[in-house]
Amino acid sequence: MIPAAFDYYAPTSVDEALALLREHDDAKVLAGGQSLMPVLRLRLAAPEVIVDLGRIEALRGIRDDGEALVIGAMTPHSVVQADPSIAEHAKLISLAAAAIGDPQVRHRGTFGGSLAHADPAADLPAVVVALDAEMVIQGPDGRRTVGAADFFEGVFTTTLSEDELLVEIRVPKYTGWGAHYEKFSRVAQQWPIVAVAAAVRLDGGTIAEARVGLSNMGSIPIRATAVEQALVGQPATAEAVRAAAARAADGTSPPTDLNGDAEYRRHLASVLTRRAVLSAAGAG
Amino acid sequence: MSRITVKVDGGGYTDDVEPRTLLVHYLREQLGKTGTVVGCDTGNCGACTVLLDGRSVKSCSMFAVQADGHEITTIEGLATDGQLHPMQQAFHENHALQCGYCTPGMIMQSIDLLADNPDPTDDEVRLGLEGNLCRCTGYQNIVRAVRAAAAAGGAR
């Protein structure tokens, strides 16, 4: 189908984009469009105004500011996936970016667009939560920074107001950490029923630190803190990891839908966490 | 209306388009390049895949206005002087199509794949084509064709 008619703006600066958002009540921000376009085509949304961020060069690219990697919100997944500094300092992001959609989607879809869309089954939200990334938001009053855990508020809902933009994502360095992203779907191209993002730092054969994020185990991405705590100080063995991973669903209220009920998702969370942590620790 | 200037299959075009016009509809209906087809409404099928500045995109999942200033290659721009592109030739020789509807997208994505990975394994071909659906389920011969094109130096 053809989308409903709208007025189109393609600003070349963030300030210009913010002014457009202030000016128009029913404006929708277009990033890479890989989620928005199908919605417009099916006329599930019919905004009066589209503000396309595609011409704002300042929002693209990845830089290393010493302490953190800074990913521009409009950087396509294919660039993130292939970036050597991300592979070195935040391998979990490389792996999850490579698992998004398909090659065509990764050429257009953007890092910030996926996060701002906040689909509970998306790949990146659980990763930025697991890695304690900081979301840099720009609005009429300047910039504010929100921790990833406080960015997501519900299904397709974030802390972003109508007149704000997610402009960049700051990721602390996890140099030397092992990582693995494990997603489970029944058929090709399906959103994961559950996905687990894991990063571990080993000290000898012992797990010194662990980060585990869960996707599609609730309306927002969840940090599996019980698993993280249970892993610390444990040997990176199948037995120890299995015991810790059994706690993956602690405190979660996963959804029930045609792909699986809540109990099945809890089971998946534990199985996928075991696999992800073992692979991250190089023992998978 | 918005005015756009694009290069498509080597030719330059300046046209007025409605902002809501999908790139695929611009290619088919304004330029008459019906080689690129629409297979779904959801961005899943990949039949409309074209190259935008040399990288594969689904032309149903962007607006024509977003292509302003860019270069597009469709299935119609592959053959030169009546000679099929090596990927087209390989699809022909390996009978990598049944109804042929997915073929334009399959060929464009296969070219993108070989640009990244000139000698993929069977598994890498399948992964590289995961965004393209063949409802005749003719995947075996498609994989064969891509590998044959790779062996023939098809990453052009």
Instruction: Assess whether A184 and A235 both reside in one domain.
Output: yes
Residue A234 and residue A274 share a domain: yes
Which residues in chain B belong to E strands, given as ranges? Answer: 2-8, 11-17, 49-52, 55-58, 71-73
Q: For B71-107, how does the pLDDT look when each residue is reduced to its tens digit (9 = 90+)?
A: 999 999 999 999 999 999 999 999 999 999 999 999 9
For residue A184, which of A254, A129, A240, A128 has the smallest C-alpha distance? A254
The alpha carbon of residue B3 is apart from the nearest alpha carbon of chain A, in Å, by 12
d(CA A28, CA A117): 11
**pLDDT at position A283, please?**
81
Q: Which residue has the tokens 């965004």?
A: B131
Domain boundary among A120, A149, A172: A172
Structural domain containing residue A249: 178-280
Q: What is the largest CA-CA distance in chain A?
A: 60
Both A90 and A165 in a single domain? Answer: yes
Contact call for residues B50 and A104 (beta carbons, < 8 A): no
Q: What are phi and psi of A70, to 5 degrees?
A: -115, 115
Average of per-residue pLDDT across A88-112: 98
Size of interface A-B (CB pairs under 8 A): 85
What whole-number distance in Å separates Cα of residue B71 and Cα of residue B53?
5
Q: B38 and chain A: CB distance < 8 Å anywhere?
A: no
pLDDT of residue A89: 98
In a domain, A1, yes or no: no
Same domain, A140 and A217: no
Assess if residue A57 is contained within a domain.
no
Cβ separation A38–B130 shorter than 8 A: no
CATH architecture, domain B86-151:
Orthogonal Bundle (1.10)
Same-domain status, A74 and A127: yes
Q: Are residues A112 and A212 in the same domain?
A: no
CB contact under 8 Å between A5 and B20, yes or no, is yes
Contact yes or no for B66 and A52 at CB 8 A: yes
Query: CA dihedral in degrees (A98, A100, A104, A107; nearest 10)?
Result: -60
Residue B154 has pLDDT above 70, yes or no: no
Mark yes or no for CB contact A38/B61 under 8 Å: yes
At residue A165, does pLDDT exceed 60? yes
The interface predicted TM-score of the complex, written ipTM, equals 0.96
Q: What is the DSSP letter of A110?
A: B
Residue A129 resides in a domain: yes
Q: Is B9 on the interface with A (CB under 8 A)?
A: no
Instruction: Calculate what percentage of chain A has a pLDDT beyond 90.
Output: 96
pLDDT at B43 exceeding the cut of 60: yes
| SS3 of residue A42 by DSSP | coil
pLDDT of residue B155: 54
| A173: amino acid identity, one letter | K
Structural domain tally of chain A? 3
A217 lies in some domain: yes
Question: Cβ of B112 under 8 Å from any chain A Cβ?
Answer: yes
CA gap A196, A181 in Å, rounded: 6
- On chain B, the residues whose CB falls within 8 A of the CB of A54 are 66
- State in Å, rounded, how far the first CA of chain A is from the last one: 45
Residue A171's CB is within 10 A of a number of other CB atoms, namely 23
B109 pLDDT band, cuts 50/70/90, is: very high
Q: Chain A 65-124, CB below 8 Å of chain B: which residues? A: 78, 101-105, 107-108
My answer on whether A154 and A183 are in the same domain is: no
- Does A205 share its domain with A141? no
Asked if B90 and B146 count as a contact pair (C-beta separation under 8 A), the reply is: yes
Domain CATH for A36: 3.30.43.10
> In sequence order, what DSSP letters do the residues of A214-271 get, joined into one string?
EESSSSS-EE-HHHHHHHTT-BS-HHHHHHHHTTTTTT-----BTTB-HHHHHHHHHH
Spatial neighbors of A79 by CB under 8 A, at least 6 apart, are: A60, A62
Gyration radius from chain B CA atoms: 15
| Confidence bin at A187 (pLDDT 50/70/90) | confident
The CATH homologous superfamily to which domain B2-77 belongs is: Beta-grasp domain (3.10.20.30)
Torsion of CA B62, B65, B68, B74, to 10 degrees: 40
Residues B68 and B5: beta-carbon distance below 8 Å = yes
A42 touches chain B (CB under 8 A): yes
> Is A185 in the same domain as A271?
yes
A149 has a pLDDT exceeding 70: yes
What the block records as the tokens of B98 is 């049944």
d(CA A93, CA A99): 10
What pLDDT is recorded for position A198?
98
What's the CATH number where A125 sits?
3.30.465.10
Could B131 and A101 be called an inter-chain contact, meaning their C-beta atoms sit closer than 8 Å?
A: yes
Using a CB-CB cut-off of 8 Å, the residues of chain A touching B22 are: 2-3, 37, 41
- Segment (H or E) for A27: strand A27-30
Verify that A198 and A271 share a domain, yes or no. Answer: yes
Compute the average pLDDT of residues A232-250: 97
Residues of chain B with CATH 1.10.150.120: 86-151
Picking from A6, A104, A189, the nearest residue to B19 by CB comes out as A6
Q: What is the pLDDT of residue B137?
A: 81
Evaluate the CA torsion angle A151, A152, A156, A158 in order and state its sign: negative
Verify that A38 and A80 share a domain, yes or no. Answer: no
Q: Do B57 and A38 touch (CB under 8 A)?
A: no
For chain B, residues classed under CATH 3.10.20.30 are 2-77
Q: How many helices (H) and strands (E) does chain A have?
A: 12, 14
3-state secondary structure of A34: coil
Residues A99 and A17 in one domain: no
User: In chain B, what residues touch A20 (CB-CB under 8 Å)?
Assistant: none
CA–CA distance, B29 with A31 (Å, rounded to integer):
26
Kindly state whether B154 is in contact with chain A, defined as any CB-CB distance less than 8 angstroms.
no
Q: What are the pLDDT digits (tens) for B123-140?
A: 999 999 999 999 998 899
Q: Which of B1, B4, B40, B66 is the best mutation test for A, with the most CBs of A within 10 A?
A: B66
pTM score > 0.90 for this model?
yes
> Tokens 């062996």 label which residue?
B151
- Candidates A56, A104, A107, A191: best to mutate against B (most CBs of B within 10 A) is A104
